[in-house]
Structure 1
């Protein structure tokens, strides 16, 4: 008896996962250096090779980053001569501020969050107590209040992730997450005003909590990672709409 070819019968819709690139992070850092005067107007930037070594990225990523800041009008590239700073201000400075803090970049923060929060959600699904799930569901209900300010929503967002970390019953993991809270608060306040971000964040929270309550560790981990991927999608969309990416 011939086994039916189910693969050909089931249509597959695969959506490309868009993520912030290394070059986006490098471009944001280089932009900040130019704005802060590390490279002055009229000054020639170090070579692509030197910059790639300094930033610890590939030359292709460095090249893409330079293209990005050139499109912002900060530098001008002359073939065979080099890249020169032509101005040190941006017409819309909000974009690089979304991607970089003083000591690290948002893509770096996302890398840590995917690991930490994905594992926290998976552990919580297997270890949660009734009090844990009650607290998560209470926070979800609070988040749907349309009268909440963005700042109030961000605070509830942080408290929800705290509750997930606590439900993991891993004290060290919860402590590590606690060290990220000030950074998460600052970052969240930056991106919450992006159109649709608040709604997307809530949808992600619902998926995470539902998987934890149901005890589905794999789904909880996947939902936590998807939640962070969704932030990347919103930031990329915002950057594209702002004319900062191609």
Structure 2
């Protein structure tokens, strides 16, 4: 189990909690104890990841949880700032599957579903997938995303093409979790506000592999697509661009400064 360096405020973290939830709880305890005061910027994502010995996406999930609880404000390009010592609502928002954890699972499961579907998909299902890609393209052109319904139907239709009830159920369950989770909904709102939309070229590549009935190509296309989704979400929720820019400017000034 990962824990941050002992500062006197750390409490044992139950193994049954999700990793990001454990970290959010530790940070909430630090905020409540006064270690981080209202208006203060939390340590950088990199520093927190090193302190807790976890990945940066896990730290980002913890920040989303703290923001939902009303304890912090995430300012894109600047950092994460404490805004309340305790949750204004009096209680924390129920934790659910984290956004990046969910995408990791989808990449593994949907990649294999796509490979299996390539060997079993019907011509009618291929044409329906093509219609869904066209629907996503129209929505993108008109800057409309209808709850990502076409995107979900695309992925669930591929699962149905496997003709495997367990695979169909697994994919549907992951999408249900995505729609249910407050953490996922919060991230989706931020991502849409930043202009991220379903990638037509990536869905087209998946469709192309399925048309060829090529399991390896289908698996790789789906995995590549979900990997790029993860990358896009990380970029869209980056909060420390300004900090890095300042560091780069300072380094350049140092490098090119005239000798005193």
Output the TM-score relative to the length of structure 2.
0.58
Match of 1:41 in 2: 32
Equivalent residue, structure 1, for 2:159: 165
Aligned to 1:130: 123
How big is each residue's C-alpha offset from its partner over 1:172-208, in whole Å with a ceiling of 9 and x where there is no partner?
1001111122223353743651545315x32221111
Q: Distance in 2 between matches of 1:210 and 1:240?
A: 32
User: In structure 1, the residue corresponding to 2:74 is in which secondary structure?
Assistant: coil
Matched residue SS, 1:169: coil
Matched with 1:237 is 235
C-alpha deviation, 1:43, in angstroms: 5.6
Q: Tell me the distance in 1 between the aligned counterparts of 2:98 and 2:243.
A: 17
SS across alignment from 1:138: helix
In 1: Cα distance, 2:34 partner to 2:55 partner: 18
1:174 to 165, 168, 175: 168
CA offsets per residue over residues 198-220 of structure 1, 9 Å max, x none?
A: 15x32221111110111111111
Contact 2:190 2:237 in 1 (8 A): no
Does 1:155 find its partner at 2:149? yes
RMSD: 3.8
**Number of matched pairs:** 185
Q: 1:136 to 1:144 in 2, by over 3 A?
A: same
SS of aligned partner of 1:116: helix
1:109 aligns with 2:102: yes
Distance 1:240 1:181, change over 3 A: closer
Give the equivalent residue in structure 1 for 2:9: none
CA distance in 2, matches of 1:244, 1:108: 27
Show CA shifts across 1:119-150 (max 9, x none). 11111111111111011011111111123622
Question: For 1:34 and 1:150, how far apart are their aligned partners in 2?
Answer: 36
| Correspondence for 1:62 | 52
TM-score (norm 1): 0.61
Q: In structure 2, how many angstroms separate the alpha carbons of the residues matched to 1:202 and 1:208?
A: 10
- Residue 82 (structure 2) pairs with residue 89 (structure 1): no
Does the alignment pair 1:220 with 2:213? no
- SS of corresponding position for 2:33: coil
SS in 2 for 1:198: coil
